Each structure stands twice: as C-alpha cells, then as structure tokens.
Amino acid sequence: MSTKVKFQDLESADYKKTWEYQEKLFNGILTQKLAGPAHRQEKDAFAGYLLFCEHPHVYTLGKSGADNNLLIDEGFLKKISAGYYRIDRGGDITYHGPGQIVGYPILDLESLGLGIKQYIFNLEEAIISTLREFGLESSRLDSASGVWLDTSDASKSRKICAIGVRASRHVTMHGFAFNVNTDLNYFSYINPCGFKDKGVTSMEKELGSIQDLRKVKEILKANLSSVFRVELTNEN
C-alpha cells in the first residue's frame, strides 16, 4: 500500500489564514496519533498534507530570530504593503510574496520513517532536483538550512530557497519558501535568515526571464513525491 499525502494548491492566500489552516491540519494529525494503535493502519496509509501557496507581501520571524533583523519600522511596512508576524517555526526572519512557491508539508514523520534532519535534507533535495531540471546547479551550505547557489565561494553564495519548520511528536508544519519570480527588493529590508553577508536570488534572476510558475510547481511536486516516496493526491 502506497503512503498518501493530500495536496492542495491554495494559490494566493493570506498568511494568517493559512497559518490557522495549517494549525487545524497539524492538530488533526496529532489527535489521531494520540488516539493510539487502533488508528495505526489508517495512519500508515496516510502521512498528512502538502500545501502550496503564494502569500501577499509578508515578513515572518521564527522563534529563535532577532527583531533587529527587520530593518524597517511599522510605518514603512505599511508603505510597502507588507505584514509582519512572529511565529513558532525555527529559523530567523524571512520574506514571503508573489512569485514565490511557499510549501507547507504537514506530515507525520514516523509514518514515513524519517527523523527531522532527514526530513529537512529531503526538502532541500527536492528543491535541488527541481533547479537542476532548469539547468541551475545548487547545493546545501554548511551550518545553514535551505538551498544555495555558488556555495564554494563565500562572496558569491546566495540563497534561493529558505526552510524553517516546527515539529511536535514527529508531526511537522511550516516549511519552505522557494524564490521563482520573487521581487527580491523586499529582501533588502531584512537580514534574510539572520545573515548580513549572504545574498538572495530567484530563478527569474538566475535564468534571465520570468518562469512559468505552474510548470515549476508540477516539477517540484513530482520531486517531492519521489524524494519522500509518497503519492500526492489532489484535495479540493
């Protein structure tokens, strides 16, 4: 029996409403796990959910982040039509906005036989494989999560995908932010992920043209399905 993950593309979605929706799905999986062995057969066939979306301009600060990594005040946030939330994921500050694929896997890692380190590795691997299909070579950076370009040269290394997750009882939420056609100017108002000496990039910038977001999503979905060895089923 293949392990199934329910997939939803929320398209353009308000950050707070999406966070609340994640919490609902996350708590549902936790409740099922705590119900005990009687639910094991169902759990083994169903590992959770994968959400894709784009958010309107918003900055989020992880629980270990520093407020001073947001370089602008509340007035300027309003001027650039951006929200700001302190949230319960790991990591520091990041930006979400149009043209970015935000992925929220809400998964029971026990049902997939994964620990948190391997889970993050798998997320990175799916992004790396997706970029390779567009002719972009990327990799991991020592002591930093996410996916980066030109990691061999510290003066040129730049992040194309940020990762920040929360896990409780081996159930995950939050996830990754993959810059496809992202307006990179918004990153100039923060120290992305707490870094002051690292750049940020996008597929559009690296390839010199706007990318077909739906095509990127389909390739990424296939790579996530392959790396995690799950069947993604559409959920309306």
| pLDDT recorded at residue 43 | 45
Considering only 38-42, 48-52, 156-160, 218-222, which range has the smallest mean pLDDT? 38-42
pLDDT in tens, 163-201: 999 999 999 999 999 999 999 999 999 886 656 557 899
| pLDDT recorded at residue 37 | 60
Exactly one of 193, 220, 224, 230 is catalytic; name it: 193
Domain ranges of the chain: 4-231
pLDDT in tens, 23-57: 999 999 999 888 876 555 454 589 999 999 999 99
DSSP 142-164: TTEEEEEE-TT-TTT-EEEEEEE
| pLDDT recorded at residue 67 | 85
| pLDDT at position 152 over 90 | no
pLDDT in tens, 71-110: 999 999 999 999 999 988 877 889 999 999 999 999 999 9
Phi, psi (rounded to 5 degrees) for 30:
-60, -45
| pLDDT recorded at residue 35 | 82
Question: Which CATH class name applies to 4-231?
Answer: alpha beta
Cα 145 from Cα 166, distance rounded (Å): 14
Give the Å distances, CA to CA, from 51 to 8, 47, 208.
Answer: 5, 13, 28
| pLDDT at position 208 over 70 | yes
- Whether the full predicted model's pTM is greater than 0.75, yes or no, is yes
Give the Å distances, CA to CA, from 97 to 54, 67, 80.
Answer: 6, 20, 12
Tokens of 143: 């002591």
| pLDDT recorded at residue 233 | 95
Q: Give the total residue count for the chain.
A: 236
Q: Rounded to the nearest 10 degrees, what angle do helices 116-132 and 213-228 cross at?
A: 140
Q: Are 223 and 130 in contact (CB under 8 A)?
A: yes
SS3 content of the chain, % helix, strand, coil (to 5): 40, 30, 30
Q: Are 177 and 161 in contact (CB under 8 A)?
A: yes
Contacts of 175 (CB under 8 A, 6+ apart): 102, 103, 104, 105, 123, 163, 164, 165
| pLDDT recorded at residue 194 | 54
Considering only 123-132, 148-157, 172-181, 220-229, which range has the smallest mean pLDDT? 148-157
| pLDDT recorded at residue 62 | 87
Instruction: Note if 53 is an active site residue.
Output: no
Alpha helices (H) along the chain:
15-34, 40-45, 74-79, 109-112, 116-132, 203-207, 213-228
Tokens of 186: 């918004």
